[in-house]
A and B are shown apart, each in its own frame.
Chain A
């Protein structure tokens, strides 16, 4: 499909400016969409995280974000998250219930991100939720689809260390039944929780941080 008349080369300037203009328009469009969707996306993520915190800690209706800095745990208000962040869960009366600890590590295919509930007084994991996973559908994804496996983490002692055993052999309070056919994924979940424990257990006060007065009275 050659143009019938003039076979004149367009100047380099024309070529460059075409691309520059295209890039400019594209950039503006992308920024506009990004700005338009950002509030919804942030909101969705916060909701998702809140739902997960409420799920891994029993009877929690209030949560606060904590940050560890200068050798102590304190409330964190600004947005964003990193390795030094975890969440405190409070009951309706404002009493501290436990911590929701995020932890991540390599799984069978890609990083598995986990949030788990930990009650320091009992030294027990009381719930586990997979936030992020690309494990094999049908096998590895049972780490969140297999309710029996998830229920392993509802009353799990962390002493001396959480261990994976072959399915059906669980008889100690710190043992977890592996998923048949997804041993690597099961072990990854337990290893990620153990790593989270190593990172946090010695840093967190048993009774958490009390909520400011007026919040508790609400």
Chain B
């Protein structure tokens, strides 16, 4: 990597500056599909965390053993194994959540966020960095899923994590738990994030200008 950085920095970048959803716009399929309630979002985020951290660890450990020509297939085998493990574990321990998430657990295999981290980071860095990067990225992903899931559940069902918030007089916005609600919410959240980034940039430029003028 170009600039030497600490593992801590590698972790923190996934949370905000390089947030996989809000900045890189990766992993949109689960992002839109399973965020109709906060619990589903949380389960999906944790499953992704397990898969990403596990695969990044293994890929980083074996990075010198895997020939370049077959690296993508090897990554996919590693990722798919972790996905299958979490799939069966969820089915055994939380059958209800597994039922809700359904096909989207196996589809974690095809989440470009995960393969992307292997190719761009884990295969080129030492184990410590790779794991920290994976943790940061998946926590950032979890945060984004939760943000979307909470907004959609609050507006769409008047509840959060299944707890009723507004009482019986609340008329749920059904559209929020349907697919269009996912697009709407994600669009608005992206708008909000870009607005913040823009404002920060603006502030930085003004600060620099002011400094120049002062000197």
- Chain A residues with a Cβ under 8 A of chain B: 1, 10, 14-15, 18-19, 22-23, 25-26, 29-30, 33-34, 36-37, 40-41, 44-45, 48, 134, 136-139
Contacts and interface: CB of A to CB of B under 8 A. Distances in A.
Contacts of A137: 36, 177-178
A139 B174 contact: yes
Given A30-B85, A37-B91, A40-B92, A138 B69 contact: no
Given A26-B80, A30-B84, A33-B89, A15 B67 contact: yes
A41 B66 contact: no
Given A10-B69, A23-B77, A136-B178, A33 B95 contact: no
Interface of B: 36, 65-67, 69-70, 73-74, 77-78, 80-81, 84-85, 88-89, 91-93, 95, 102, 124, 156-157, 172, 174, 177-178
A18 B64 CA distance: 12
Given A18-B74, A36-B88, 19 more contacts: A1-B124, A10-B67, A10-B69, A14-B67, A22-B77, A22-B78, A26-B80, A29-B81, A33-B84, A33-B89, A37-B92, A40-B92, A41-B88, A41-B92, A44-B92, A45-B95, A136-B178, A137-B178, A138-B156
30 contacts: A10-B67, A10-B69, A14-B67, A23-B77, A26-B78, A26-B80, A26-B81, A29-B81, A29-B85, A30-B84, A30-B85, A33-B85, A33-B88, A37-B91, A37-B92, A40-B92, A41-B88, A41-B91, A41-B92, A44-B92, A45-B95, A48-B95, A134-B102, A137-B36, A137-B177, A137-B178, A138-B156, A138-B172, A138-B174, A138-B177
